[in-house]
Structures are given as C-alpha cells and as structure tokens.
Amino acid sequence: MPEMGNSLRAAALLAFVVLSILVSLLISSVQQFGARISHFSNATISVDEEELASLRGALVYQLNERRKEIIPLLLPGDADENRLPEESRHSSQHGEGLDSTLDYTVWNEITLGSRKAHLDEMGCDSLVDMQAMEVLGSGYTKLVVKVNLAGGQRVALKLVNEQGIDMSKCVEDFKDPLGCRELVSYKLKKEIVLLQRLQHPNVIKLKGHCAGVQGGGGGEGGRVTVILEQGNPLQMIQLLQSPWEDRFRVCLDLVRLLHFLSQSPLGSVALLDFQPRQFVTVSGELKLTDLDDASAEETACQTDADCTLQFPHRNFTLPCSARGVCEGLNEKRNIYNAYRYFFTYLLPHQAPPGLTRLVDHIMNSTGELKADINQTLEAFEHILHLYKSGLHLDNLPPSIMKDYTLMRGMGTSGNVEYRCWPSYSQQGCVLSVHSAREAAHICNSHTQCNSFTLTGQKTWTGRLLTSFRSSFSHLVPDGTSEVYVKKTKVLDNSTV
C-alpha cells in the first residue's frame, strides 16, 4: 500500500509538470519573460563557488523570514501535532544553517502534507488523471487553473507561476531555480494556513492541497498546489448591468465577510490587496479567493498622526490607543475600500425608491468612515429585511389591483415581449417582485405593459420572478403561474 501511495503521488507530481507546460503555452502575456527563463539551467555556470555560497546564504535567509511569517498564523497547539523525526526537519536541500528556535514540525506539516487531514480533504492522490480546462488567472506569483478531476468534480488549482515576475526576478538574484520555487511558493503556503484559519461562507473553501517532497526525485521538491472550490471570476462590467437585487447581494456578502474579518481567530484582518479581482462568485455568492496579502498585524503608534489611512483622494486619521496601536485601522481600511471599489458602483444605481434613503445613509457613513463594521452590517441587514418582507412598499395602494383580471393556474403563449433594463432575461422584461401589487405598480409604469405573469420561480431573497409583456395570443394551463391582464386589454380582446 505505501508503494501504491508513492506511485500515485509521483503521478500527481508528473501531472504538475505537464500542467505547467500547458499553462506556459496558454498564457501569451508572459512570453516576454521567456528570454530570462531560458538561462535558468545555465545560470549557475557563470558564477564562482564563493558567489554561489553567498547567494545561497541570502536565499536561506529569505526562506527563514517567510517561515517566520507563517508560524504565528497556526492554531495554538498545532506545533504539538504529528511531531516528526529530527532528520525530517532538515530534509530540504536549502535547510542548512536555519534558525534552530523555529518549530520545523509546523513547517513540515504545510510542505509535506503531514497535518491530520479531514476525511473529505483532498491530497495529491485526488489530482491523478485530472484534466486542465482553462487558465482562470495569472499574476506575479501564482496561476489559477480550472480543472476537472477524475471523478468529474470541478475544482480550481493554485500553483506557482513558473514564468511569473516573482520567479523570474528570484532566479536572476539567487541563480537557484529550485530554491526560488520554494521561496515563491511561500505565498501559497501562507494561503493554505489562512484558508484553514479563516473559514467563512464568504471565503473560498479549501478542499485540500498537495505538496511535493522536499529533495525528492524528479526535481519536484518545493511544488505546492492548493485545491479550492471552483468559482467564477467577479465581472464588474457584467455586474453593473445586473438587477439591483444581485448587486446588493454582492455588497451584503462583502460586508458580512468584513464583519467576520474584524473579529477573526487571528484578530482584525486587513485585506491589503483589496480589488474585485480577489473575489469570485459561487452560485451567486461572493467569496474571497486570494488571501496571501491578508494581514492581522496592528500598526504601532505614539500619536494619532501615526495612524493615517491614505487613499488616492482621501486621508483619514484614526486614534492611537493607550496600548500604542492604531485603533480600528484594519477594519476602517477594509470599509473604505469596500466603499470605493464596490458600494460606489453597485449600490445606489436603481435602488428601490422605498430604500434610497437607507442606501444613501450607507454611502455617506462608509464614504466618510463615520460607521464601524457592526453598524454597517446592521444597516445592510435592515435593508435586506425590508426588501424581503415588502415593508418598503407600504405606500402602494391595494386598489391598484382593481385594474387587473387574475387567471390562476395559467400561463401564456404567443407572447409579444418588450425589453426593460435591467432584466433577468435579455429577450424580454423579467423582474423580481414581492407581490402581485408591486408587479401591477411596475406594469402601470411601463407604457408597453398590458399583462404580467408571476412564474413561481424565486430569487435568492425569495422574491418572485415576474414576466411583463405587451400582449399574448392565448392562455395555456400552468399550475405554477398566475396571469394578470389589464381589464382594458380584456375588453379589447372580447370585442375582437
């Protein structure tokens, strides 16, 4: 059985090589680095032994610094689990001279996969016979690839971008491709730990990871791949064209995430690289997918002047607390970034009239940093309650329904559609409503509308999807639908 496990791991690691080649061919945007990478194998020939030793020492120092960043993120008591033999602490070929005060058990748990796994956690064996579908994204450090596993499950893999800027610059500096792969992979290793510590519905789910054996055969030492649930990159242009309800959901999910980060197991966490590209959607739910630039460090201060948040067009000064740290700086940074990257574009436009005052209050309080994350979340949840319950529609008179004839258990055929924006359908006008009364109000405001159908389908808030149209040729039985026709239209048809 151990031999079978080793062969599976070898197959998985071989798959990484193939995948790296595939990705290299797919990403034309990094071809300019090809000239630099082509000399990797000859890099060490042009330097003498003394320089190599100096460069190796500098690389080992950088490796130690990255390890020190990760160890404080581990759960209390983790250092006592799965304690490994002494010799395994020095299995890396770059491990000589490392700081003996560091706990290499926790490091080996990350790099060698020796941490106790959950029963449903994926490892190297899960990646055997995987099929790479497409590249979802690439950056200075990492590649994200959409993959179908052998059993048909779809996942996303994060791995080191072998042609990225970080890898290229490291090899130029240290002349050691294998050591540089290990150094660059630290962002992935840090992300594994953060995903384990920061589990939340709006953080991408870590399904497992695969770590290459340090100093193993085939040159695969230092390879690390993170296995994640698969999401769709957040498309802001597409989102801007979506109904307000879907845009509100993204903002609400973001605020719920920031509320969690403000009091996470690591303390208050700031997202230092706060951009829409750091997020994906899974079944319509927003999820943070890039955590390597998350930081739980508190900014030390002596006076309030040391606690300035600087943004391109605004600066904010926060209080320096009695214990010498900037009070609420991480939380406030997250709130303002949410305001300038998300709320400004997604929240106010076409907000329901009964909610515009509350939306404006959120825009003002977050744009001026007048509210903390607890108050911001409370404001969002209040809007959600009003929207789902229909309480924001209290000013619609019940008499609005007297202009319509109801036909239960019926649908329509031969429809003459018209378009409205934004709509859940590009071929017609499909909107969400709380009730038939709201639908009648919308129909009355559209000059083309003469009837509407409550389809029985619901959105994430429980609101009903409703189709509005100019006319239809005849009714058809449909147990899930209700058709409302303007009485003037009924009279016109009966005359004909």
Q: Which residues are catalytic, by number?
A: 273
Interatomic CA distance for residues 421 and 425, integer angstroms: 9
Interatomic CA distance for residues 232 and 455, integer angstroms: 27
**With contact defined as beta carbons under 8 Å apart, do 286 and 380 qualify?**
no
Which single residue is written with the structure tokens 């929240």? Answer: 347
Residue 383's Cβ-count burial label (10 Å; 0-12, 13-18, 19+) is buried
DSSP 152: S
For residue 120, give every residue at least 6 positions away whose Cβ sits within 8 Å of its Cβ, in sequence order, or none: none
- Backbone φ and ψ of 130, nearest 5°: -70, 160
Question: Any idea what the Cα angle at residue 225 is, between residues 221 and 231, rounded to 5°?
Answer: 170
Residue 302's Cβ-count burial label (10 Å; 0-12, 13-18, 19+) is exposed
Interatomic CA distance for residues 412 and 493, integer angstroms: 15
Token pair recorded at residue 132: 């790479």
DSSP 133: E
- Backbone φ and ψ of 298, nearest 5°: -100, 140
Question: Residue 20: beta bridge partners?
Answer: none
- Helix, strand, coil % over all residues of the chain, rounded to 5: 45, 20, 30
Interatomic CA distance for residues 396 and 403, integer angstroms: 14
**With contact defined as beta carbons under 8 Å apart, do 431 and 445 qualify?**
no
Interatomic CA distance for residues 230 and 202, integer angstroms: 13
The amino acid at 194: L
Interatomic CA distance for residues 337 and 332, integer angstroms: 9
DSSP run (H or E) holding 232: strand 232-233
